Structure 1
Amino acid sequence: MSKHKNSTTAFRVALGGICAAVCLLLMFSSSFLPGLSYAIPVFAGVLMVVMIVETDSKWAIADYCAVSLLCIFITPNFEASLLFILFMGYYPILQFWLSKKKSKLFQWAVKLAVFNVAIVIYYNLFKFIFVSVDMLEGTEFLGKYALPLLWAEAQICFLVYDKFLSLTIDVYINWFRKKILRRK
């Protein structure tokens, strides 16, 4: 049974369908808004917060898996799809789960490990799928420091993203649910 006593299976299925549909709509929109290839997977992933708060982690993971699978077939922007599948889609669920753990050291060790593994997989898959595109194009002036500097920049972006996600979860739980949805 879900942690919410009044959360029926029908409600969970309907909410999962709505979240999945909005995620897919967002992911599809990345094909005609290519400048938002990095931002759209972030916003789609935030919808997993709704799933985990209103149902539980099992339903949120099922929704993530469904959206990830459908992204492969529906979304023409493979770069955005890869970002969603490899990190942005499941990280909100992971972060919500980690926030329940007492040890901040454990939380950050897991967060950074997951992020860095995802980034390495993303980089290698990107090079494999998009052979004609060089991710380091435009960084030639940095020479051998290009990759380490981009790696450091990615770490900073991750810290900003993690803080954004924490604030989003807090706003959803402590303001939106109480004021708009009138749930406790």
Structure 2
Amino acid sequence: MKTSMKVSLGGVVAALSLVLMLLTSVIPFGTYAFPCFAGILLILLVFNLGFRWAIAVYFVTAVLSFLLLTDKEAALYYTAFLGFYPILKGVIERIPSKVVQYIVKLALFNVCIIAAFFVGMTLLSIPKESFTIFGVYLPWVFLIIGNIAFVIYDLCITKLVTLYLFKWHNKLNKNTKL
């Protein structure tokens, strides 16, 4: 594929990802959902252009998200985990054991989300007491729910990748000569 085609495909995916990220400021549930969708778009680049291009578009989208978004929490989640996980998912799934794969995936998720929580608290100056209701420290509850949501998210990505590979990848490559 010519370099100009690679740049244009990367630019289109970066623009779509950024539009999704900008929607986080408009739609309330978007803080969590749209960074997920923006990250999933990077899988197209992994299949068609390779890891380097996907990582480059991830960095571009992450930087522009912090510069342009009013919802900095969404930019933080995209940068801390949701943007690069779809790129790394294929690498992690090369591990022969499914159990070890999920241990690595869950460990990566928990480390990234906990780090994002502390970075967010530091940068946004949120008092720790605001996360306690009726004596329950809510971040632990959110982390448990987040792990369940992550497993569902991972399964959904797997289904989408399978659908893309078997239904669309060959058709798109024939039509666009990628």
SS of 1:34's partner is coil
Q: TM-score, normalised by structure 2?
A: 0.88
Specify whether residues 136 and 92 from structure 1 end up closer, same or farther in structure 2 by C-alpha distance, changes over 3 A only.
Answer: farther
Q: 5 Å matches for 1:138-149?
A: 140-141=133-134, 143-144=135-136, 146-149=138-141
Q: Distance in 2 between matches of 1:129 and 1:169?
A: 35
1:160 is the counterpart of 2:155: no
Aligned residue identity for 1:149: V
Cα deviations across residues 28-58 of structure 1 (Å, max 9, x unaligned)? 1111113211000011001111110111111
Cα deviations across residues 53-86 of structure 1 (Å, max 9, x unaligned)? 1111111111111111111111111011011100
From 94, 101, 113, give the equivalent of 1:107: 101
Q: 2:9 maps to what in 1?
A: 15
From 167, 172, 177, give the equivalent of 1:175: 167
Q: 1:3 maps to what in 2?
A: none
From 52, 73, 76, give the equivalent of 1:79: 73
Specify whether residues 101 and 75 from structure 1 end up closer, same or farther in structure 2 by C-alpha distance, changes over 3 A only.
Answer: same
Specify whether residues 148 and 133 from structure 1 end up closer, same or farther in structure 2 by C-alpha distance, changes over 3 A only.
Answer: closer
- What is the total number of aligned residue pairs between the two structures? 176
Specify whether residues 147 and 72 from structure 1 end up closer, same or farther in structure 2 by C-alpha distance, changes over 3 A only.
Answer: closer
Specify whether residues 47 and 135 from structure 1 end up closer, same or farther in structure 2 by C-alpha distance, changes over 3 A only.
Answer: farther
Specify whether residues 82 and 145 from structure 1 end up closer, same or farther in structure 2 by C-alpha distance, changes over 3 A only.
Answer: closer
Aligned residue identity for 1:120: I
Specify whether residues 100 and 132 from structure 1 end up closer, same or farther in structure 2 by C-alpha distance, changes over 3 A only.
Answer: closer
Q: Distance in 2 between matches of 1:8 and 1:68?
A: 26
Specify whether residues 135 and 24 from structure 1 end up closer, same or farther in structure 2 by C-alpha distance, changes over 3 A only.
Answer: farther
Q: 1:4 maps to what in 2?
A: none
Q: 2:62 maps to what in 1?
A: 68
Q: Distance in 2 between matches of 1:110 and 1:127?
A: 26
Aligned residue identity for 1:140: I
1:151 is the counterpart of 2:143: yes
Q: Distance in 2 between matches of 1:88 and 1:33?
A: 18
- CA RMSD in angstroms comes to 2.3
Q: TM-score, normalised by structure 1?
A: 0.85
Q: Distance in 1 between matches of 2:156 and 2:128?
A: 29
Q: Distance in 1 between matches of 2:35 and 2:15?
A: 14
1:41–1:84 Cα contact (<8 Å) kept: yes
Cα deviations across residues 92-131 of structure 1 (Å, max 9, x unaligned)? 0010222233232332232112101111111112212333
5+ residue gaps, structure 2, are: none
Higher helix share: 2
Q: Provide the identity percentage.
A: 31
SS of 2:29's partner is helix
